[in-house]
């Protein structure tokens, strides 16, 4: 008998060049996502990396730096466990539908990232007066629709955001060198923001005295509330409070029985304090059991709920998370033209036979 | 530099127990689907197989048979290349949505199956007068919602259908022993029908003098046109004429340029004779270029079409196949409560920037 018991889920392919693959999040229960299941989100083909790989710190700094990646392991290290989520996660759920990678629920993974606080590097370099933003440039580059020539992936943070003590220049993921496809050898980690801020293959840090205008800053990763014009445009930043029901899966058919409904919840604006479930389309809500870990403030929280499905029929199970800042999931998603930040109440439909 | 060039798609996981995984059909161009990319559709956990594996032929036959699987290779062999499609393929596209495995486009794969014509086996056994149907029973078994006890997967064909010269008891797939997950060691292959007829792990052939009433025959794999009642119920049989656009993918964003639109088309009711594309929502249609292979009447046909996308904007590309019997794809799918046989005109939406 061959491998009948080796039933494994796979990354779900959205595109190959560039490679965009989803984590099979409904089938994973581990706190840390194994490398083979980490989602892959790229704007460009994978980069050729120079050897040695140098990280430069330049621009409006007092002491420009050029650091070999491996030097950073001599610095004082810090680790953060992060539910890293692409801002396009759940894009496929928007109605009307929006263009872009059609992520379902799996553009999210969780890892422990270890590295050097970015603040320590910026302090060594010294910021000149008038410094306004810090630009992070990856080694990956290519063509972008509507932009002439070859450009790198680049994103900025304000100086204040860049100095947040948990923003890291990471060199390890889950205790190993960062996997190549997830940013080896150095990756910026901005734990409370959507994933676009956590620049992979980080090669250049440039401090500037003005607002960065790169297309991944000012054109993409912006919420456009209107389909017709750019009015109301505002940037994608921290992760919204959010949840998914992992099991049972949407539109599944199950026999009468007792089920453990289970899932995860996360937020970039504070610890998840409550997850509630509704079986009557929001008329009433019941608390799920949480397994929080206060030592991992940027991690997702696992939750469970026992459901007695005793009568055949069609059911909806809704989940709603609330974080320490009082943010909660809205009934309907905030529709926006590029499909970012979907975090409406999660709905699963089940047929009991 | 690790494996930057080894970009591979994966099977898309729909469920693990039983295992249901889609072929990454948008990313494959080969005539025959490699084993690792063959879709997996199961009703039950994978079966334990007896050793030796015996095929019994019984019921209203003159000479009941018990054949060791490996004996069949001594018989005169026949091969057919088949686009094997689950009748639930594209279920996710129905609106209103229907319960069941949420297959997108990938519950289809193509293989060359080699085996013995079922007619030869039935002739050896000899059918008694009054024989009406032939029931095919797989080694896989388990619980089915709404049915008491443990049952096997079983399906029937009328005697006339069973005697079709291209219906095989196959023992090879693409020149090798059939992969375990696809039915090793013996699988019925009904080349023009949806996949549920091609019973995996075929263990028993029972000829009966009445209509078979198993739940996979009379409850599942039936078209129910109404959500409210069972009126108009009729069985799922041959594959509808159908097509997909493999590339470009739905809701993708592309730069201005010239693109080769490519895809496949297939039918269970005759060779695909024409694939047409429309760029104006069906007002006019242009013929795609086909690469038919008359030696493979049950195979899908590859097609291509050159598209000059010279102006930014939003586009829809529609594909429509027509077969030798004159069947074509309708504008809207035939909605049915269990979501079988979706074969509406295929639509891909593209944004050119």
Q: Tell me the HSE value of A221 on the side-chain side, using a 13 A CA sphere.
A: 23
Cα dihedral value B166, B170, B176, B180, nearest 10: 140
User: If we measure between CA atoms, which residue out of B172, B185, B148 comes closest to residue B55?
Assistant: B185
Mean pLDDT for the stretch of residues A186-201: 98
Whole-number mean pLDDT of chain A? 96
**Which residue of A lies nearest to B143 if distances are taken between CA atoms?**
A255
Residues of A in contact with B181 (CB under 8 A): 2, 4
Give the per-residue pLDDT at A145.
82
Please write down the HEC assignment for all residues of B140-170. EEEEECCEEEEEEEEEEEEHHHHCCCCCEEE
Percent of chain A with pLDDT over 70: 99
State how beta strands A257-266 and A301-309 pair. Answer: antiparallel
Q: C-alpha distances in angstroms, B239 versus B47, B329, B332?
A: 27, 12, 17
User: Is the pLDDT confidence value at B3 over 90?
Assistant: no
Residues of A in contact with B16 (CB under 8 A): 7-9, 27
Over residues B258-269, the pLDDT tens digits come to: 999 999 999 999
Say if residue A285 is in the same domain as residue A331.
Answer: yes
**Which residue of A lies nearest to B99 if distances are taken between CA atoms?**
A251
* Inter-chain CB proximity A146 and B2 less than 8 Å: no
Query: Where would I find the H helices in A206-319?
Result: 215-218
Residues 6+ apart with CB under 8 A from B261: B245, B247, B248, B277, B288, B304, B305, B306, B307, B317
Q: 3-class DSSP state for residue B334?
A: coil
H or E stretch including B217?
Answer: helix B215-218
Residue A186 sits in a domain whose CATH number is 3.90.420.10
Give the per-residue pLDDT at B146.
79
Mean pLDDT for the stretch of residues B296-318: 97
CA distance B255 to B257: 6
Mean pLDDT for the stretch of residues A128-134: 98
Answer yes or no: is B2 within a domain. no
Closest-CA distance, B38 to chain A, in angstroms, reads: 14
**Pair B269, B282: CB distance under 8 Å:** no
Domain boundary among B235, B254, B285: B235
Say if residue B34 is in the same domain as residue B168.
Answer: yes
The answer, yes or no, to whether the previous bond of A58 is cis (omega within 30 of 0) is no
Rg (CA), chain A: 21
**Which residue of A lies nearest to B145 if distances are taken between CA atoms?**
A255
Answer yes or no: is B5 within a domain. no
Answer yes or no: is A108 within a domain. yes
User: If we measure between CA atoms, which residue out of B334, B86, B90 comes closest to residue B226?
Assistant: B334
Give the per-residue pLDDT at A2.
46
Going by pLDDT thresholds of 50, 70 and 90, the confidence category of residue B25 is very high
Say if residue B72 is in the same domain as residue B214.
Answer: yes
Say if residue A100 is in the same domain as residue A196.
Answer: yes
Mean pLDDT for the stretch of residues A176-193: 98
- Number of folded domains that form chain A: 2
Say if residue B184 is in the same domain as residue B112.
Answer: yes
Closest-CA distance, A8 to chain B, in angstroms, reads: 7
User: Is the pLDDT confidence value at A120 over 60?
Assistant: yes
**Pair A198, A85: CB distance under 8 Å:** no
Instruction: Give, in degrees to the nearest 5, the angle at Cα A126 between A123 and A129.
Output: 125
Residue B19: both structure tokens together: 């295992």
Say if residue B201 is in the same domain as residue B334.
Answer: no
User: If we measure between CA atoms, which residue out of A285, A286, A289 comes closest to residue A263?
Assistant: A289
**Which residue of B lies nearest to A339 if distances are taken between CA atoms?**
B251
Answer yes or no: is A2 within a domain. no
Which candidate from A143, A184, A251 shows the least CB-CB separation from B100?
A: A251
User: Is the pLDDT confidence value at B161 over 80?
Assistant: yes
**Pair B322, B241: CB distance under 8 Å:** yes
Q: C-alpha distances in angstroms, B3 versus A14, A179, A299, B6?
A: 19, 10, 29, 5
Whole-number mean pLDDT of chain B? 96
User: Is the pLDDT confidence value at A107 over 50?
Assistant: yes
Q: Which residue has the higher pLDDT, B320 or B1?
A: B320
Give the per-residue pLDDT at B1.
46
Q: C-alpha distances in angstroms, A222 versus A134, A336, A339?
A: 18, 9, 9
Give the per-residue pLDDT at A321.
98
Over residues B83-96, the pLDDT tens digits come to: 999 999 999 999 99
Which candidate from B98, B181, B251 shows the least CB-CB separation from A99?
A: B251
Say if residue B131 is in the same domain as residue B276.
Answer: no
Closest-CA distance, B213 to chain A, in angstroms, reads: 19
* Pairs of residues, one from chain A and one from chain B, whose beta carbons lie less than 8 Å apart: 107
Over residues A26-82, the pLDDT tens digits come to: 999 999 999 999 999 999 999 999 999 999 999 999 999 999 999 999 999 999 999
ipTM: 0.91
Bridge partners of B343, per DSSP, are none
Closest-CA distance, A250 to chain B, in angstroms, reads: 8
For residue B251, is it left (φ>0), alpha (ψ between -120 and 50) or beta? left
Residues of B in contact with A184 (CB under 8 A): 2
* Inter-chain CB proximity B7 and A19 less than 8 Å: yes
**Which residue of B lies nearest to A255 if distances are taken between CA atoms?**
B145
Selected residue of A8, A13, A25, A100 to mutate for chain B interface (largest B Cβ count, 10 A) = A13
**Which residue of A lies nearest to B146 if distances are taken between CA atoms?**
A353
Q: Which domain holds residue B297?
A: 242-352
Answer yes or no: is B178 within a domain. yes
Q: What are phi and psi of A347, to 5 degrees?
A: -125, 130
* Inter-chain CB proximity A10 and B10 less than 8 Å: yes
Domain boundary among B179, B209, B235: B235
* Inter-chain CB proximity A10 and B13 less than 8 Å: yes
Say if residue A281 is in the same domain as residue A199.
Answer: no
Percent of chain B with pLDDT over 90: 96
**Which residue of B lies nearest to A185 if distances are taken between CA atoms?**
B1
* Inter-chain CB proximity A146 and B314 less than 8 Å: no
Long-range contacts of A119-122 (CB under 8 A, 24+ apart): A119/A162, A119/A163, A119/A164, A119/A165, A119/A167, A120/A75, A120/A76, A121/A57, A121/A65, A121/A67, A121/A169, A121/A205, A122/A57, A122/A61, A122/A162, A122/A163, A122/A205, A122/A207
Say if residue B182 is in the same domain as residue B45.
Answer: yes
Q: 3-class DSSP state for residue A119?
A: helix
CA distance B153 to B162: 18
Answer yes or no: is B4 within a domain. no
Going by pLDDT thresholds of 50, 70 and 90, the confidence category of residue A1 is very low
Give the per-residue pLDDT at B109.
98
Neighbours of B227 (CB within 10 A): 10
Over residues A262-298, the pLDDT tens digits come to: 999 999 999 999 999 999 999 999 999 999 999 999 9
Q: 3-class DSSP state for residue A106?
A: coil
Residues of B in contact with A252 (CB under 8 A): 15, 99
Query: Where would I find the H helices in B239-324?
Result: none
Bridge partners of B40, per DSSP, are B21
Which candidate from B16, B180, B181 shows the least CB-CB separation from A27?
A: B16
Residues of A in contact with B219 (CB under 8 A): none
What is the Cα B286 distance to its own chain's centre? 28
Closest-CA distance, A140 to chain B, in angstroms, reads: 12
Query: Sheet containing B12-15: which strands, arranged edge to edge?
Result: B12-15, B20-22, B40-41
Residue B91 DSSP one-character state: G
Going by pLDDT thresholds of 50, 70 and 90, the confidence category of residue B5 is low
Q: 3-class DSSP state for residue B216?
A: helix
Residue B323 sits in a domain whose CATH number is 2.60.40.650
Which candidate from B4, B11, B98 shows the least CB-CB separation from A10?
A: B11
**Which residue of A lies nearest to B48 if distances are taken between CA atoms?**
A1
* Inter-chain CB proximity A9 and B16 less than 8 Å: yes
Percent of chain B with pLDDT over 70: 99
Residues of B in contact with A10 (CB under 8 A): 10-13, 21
Closest-CA distance, B247 to chain A, in angstroms, reads: 10
Say if residue B58 is in the same domain as residue B156.
Answer: yes
CA distance A315 to B278: 40
State how beta strands B252-254 and B346-352 pair. Answer: parallel
Give the per-residue pLDDT at B325.
97
Say if residue A298 is in the same domain as residue A196.
Answer: no
Say if residue A316 is in the same domain as residue A187.
Answer: no
**Pair A349, A249: CB distance under 8 Å:** no
Domain boundary among B169, B200, B235: B235
Answer yes or no: is B173 within a domain. yes
CA-based torsion, A46, A48, A50, A56: positive or negative: negative
Answer yes or no: is A1 within a domain. no
Give the per-residue pLDDT at A5.
55
């Amino acid at each position: 008998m061959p491998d009948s018991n080796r039933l494994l889920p796979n990354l779900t392919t959205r595109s190959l060049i560039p490679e965009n693959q989803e984590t099979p999040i409904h089938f994973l229960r581990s706190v840390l996502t194994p490398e083979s299941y980490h989602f892959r989100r790229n704007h460009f083909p994978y980069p050729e990396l120079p050897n040695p790989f140098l990280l430069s710190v330049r621009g409006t700094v007092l002491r420009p730096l050029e650091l070999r990646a491996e030097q950073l392991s001599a610095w004082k290290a810090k680790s953060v466990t992060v539910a890293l989520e692409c801002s396009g996660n759940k894009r496929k759920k928007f109605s009307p539908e929006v263009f872009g990678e059609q992520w379902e629920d799996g553009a999210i993974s969780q890892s422990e990232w270890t590295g050097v606080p970015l603040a320590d590097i910026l302090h060594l370099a010294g910021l000149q007066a008038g410094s306004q933003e810090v630009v992070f440039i990856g080694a990956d580059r290519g063509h972008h629709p509507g932009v002439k020539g070859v450009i790198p992936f680049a994103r900025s943070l304000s100086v204040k955001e860049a100095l947040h003590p948990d923003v890291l220049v990471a060199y390890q993921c889950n205790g190993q060198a960062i996997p190549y496809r997830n940013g080896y050898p150095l990756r910026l980690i901005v734990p409370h923001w959507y994933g676009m801020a956590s620049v992979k293959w980080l090669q250049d840090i440039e401090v500037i005295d003005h607002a960065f205008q790169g297309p991944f800053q000012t054109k993409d990763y912006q919420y456009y509330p209107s389909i017709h014009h750019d009015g109301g445009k505002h940037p994608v930043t921290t992760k919204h409070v959010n949840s998914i029901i992992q099991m049972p899966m949407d539109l599944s058919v199950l026999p009468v029985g007792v089920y453990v409904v289970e899932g995860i919840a996360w937020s970039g604006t504070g610890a998840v304090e409550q997850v509630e479930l509704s079986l009557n389309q929001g008329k009433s809500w019941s608390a799920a059991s949480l397994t929080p870990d206060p030592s991992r403030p940027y991690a997702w929280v696992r939750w469970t709920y026992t459901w007695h499905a005793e009568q055949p029929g069609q059911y909806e199970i809704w989940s709603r998370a609330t974080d320490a800042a009082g943010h909660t999931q809205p009934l309907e998603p905030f529709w926006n033209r590029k499909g970012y930040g979907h975090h409406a109440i999660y709905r699963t439909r089940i047929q009991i036979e």
